[in-house]
Structure 1
Amino acid sequence: MARSRDPFFQALARIRDRLQAGGYAAGGPIVIVEEARRLGVSTTPVREALSWLCGEGLVERGPSGGFLAAHLDAGAVRDRYGFRLICLSAALDLMAGLPTYGRTPDRGDAPVPELRRLFEGLVRRTGNAALMDAYLRVDGQLRQFRDAERRVFTDIEAEADRLLAHASAVRNGDLREALRVYHDRRAGAAAIVALDVARQQSDGGAGVDRP
């Protein structure tokens, strides 16, 4: 059976996407029977997928059994921004002396999605599988805060454009400092970002599939 049609991989991909988009209330229960009905699969692949996602830090085991959507408070959000910076800084260390990024002027890409591709590309180009796994794990946990970042930081497009310009430079010293400023800014606003997500969920955003 093709991987894309396997019930486990279907459940894993769709539940992961929903979690990363903030589609479940933080700390709220994920009911296996309801998820199986929503996804059109049996309960077994859903249970297996949720167990797998516990390992990715997106799901937690409930105190009396069952599964809960992971709850990231301000401190946890701050720590994850800090750890993503560590991953990116380690990538720059491993790529010392190599060109960081070749940005094509006027390519028409939106700066924010392009910046996300830059982050992942920096780590991927190191060829270090352990670093890549660590980066993908923490970046996946931070994905649910992307919309909140847009609401909190009104200059997010210009910010991304400036950082991409640093990435185009031959030396990566400016990029390293720009990455630090970028992540420190978010770490400093972690409480506001986390509160924004919680408010969106309480207003009815949780539990709805998002792109």
Structure 2
Amino acid sequence: MDEPRKAAPREPGADAYSLILDAIDRGDYAPGARLVETELAERFGVSRTPIREALGRLEMQGLVAHDGRRGMVVASLDHDQLGELYEVRATVEGLAARLAARHAAPEEMAILRDLVEQSRGMIGDPAALRDNNRRFHRQMHRASHNRYLNAMLEGMRRSMALLTRVSLSDPGRGAETVAEHDAIVRAIEARDEDAAEAAARRHVSNAYATRLRLEAMS
């Protein structure tokens, strides 16, 4: 009996993009860090072709850039870009919360509530709280049930990966974040669209203020 045919090797071009983006998002490659094709290919176990394609895609999105002789590097946001990003983020996060209050299923609300309750035990652990924060916002985005808004939010998430410091590392910000998430969920559970939007906007504004304070201290 013939042996089963082995699947052909897969060139995960899309995967290479996600892997590099996730590494930037986690802070493995900080703004200004060099991105060398051979090193990335070895790290992620793929050939240089999908790495090159992924870097080209990231460059088009403004997440990486050429820096003279240094080659490809992770891009960075200046002070004005940071303000512009948070201004837009407050608007779209507010809209996501408003739509979640309108459209979220009871099961989706339950997930948001669970994330808030889980986060209470993460105060003092910025890394764990950061991951919980990302899950919370993604769940709220999904609960908005608006594919076009989610596409905008995904693009914004990529830009957020370029921020050099985690606002949750600021003393006291962890507890504030948990309280702000709780306020958003309470409004969503109450189907109060105005309160949900206001709570989400306040949450983003407070995160921006914290980040400005951290940047001023660096």
TM range, smaller chain: 0.7 to 0.9
In the alignment, structure 1 segments of 5+ residues that lack a partner are 200-211
Give the structure 2 partner of residue 38 of structure 1: 43
Q: Greater relative contact order: 1 or 2 (C-alpha under 8 angstroms, separation 6 or more)?
A: 1
Bigger Rg, structure 1 or 2: 2
Name whichever structure is richer in helix by fraction.
Answer: 2
TM-score, normalized by length of structure 1? 0.72
Q: TM-score, normalised by structure 2?
A: 0.70
Which residue of 2 is the match for residue 150 of structure 1? 168
Q: Distance in 2 between matches of 1:106 and 1:31?
A: 41
CA distance in 1, matches of 2:163, 2:172: 14
Q: What is the CA–CA distance in structure 2 between the aligned matches of 1:60 and 1:72, rounded to whole Å?
A: 12
The one-letter code sitting in structure 2 at the alignment partner of 1:160 is V
Asked whether the equivalents of residues 103 and 144 of structure 2 are also in contact (C-alpha less than 8 Å), the reply is: no
Q: Aligned residue for 2:152?
A: 134
Corresponding position: 1:81 with 2:86: yes
With over 3 angstroms needed to count, the CA separation of the structure-2 counterparts of 1:139 and 1:69, relative to structure 1, is same
Counterpart check, 1:109 vs 2:130: no
8 Å contact kept, 2:16–2:51: yes
Q: d(CA) in 2 for partners of 1:6 and 1:145?
A: 30
1:174 maps to 2:192? no
Contact 2:41 2:48 in 1 (8 A): yes
- Identical counterparts, % of pairs: 24
User: Does residue 50 of the first structure (1) align with residue 58 of the second (2)?
Assistant: no
Q: Which runs of 4+ in 1 moved over 6 A?
A: 104-107
The range that moved more, 187-196 or 164-173, is 187-196
Please report how far the alpha carbon of residue 14 of structure 1 lies from its aligned counterpart in structure 2 after TM superposition.
Answer: 1.8
CA-based RMSD: 3.5
**In the alignment, which residue of structure 1 is the partner of 2:30?**
25
Q: How does 1:64-75 map to 2 (within 5 A)?
A: 66-75=71-80
| Aligned pair partner of 2:15 in 10, 13, 17 | 10
Count how many residue pairs are aligned between Structure 1 and Structure 2: 196
Number of the residue aligned with 1:205: none
Q: Which consecutive residues of structure 2, in runs of 5 or more, have no partner in the other structure?
A: 1-5, 121-128
Q: Is the 8 A contact 2:184 2:200 kept in 1?
A: no
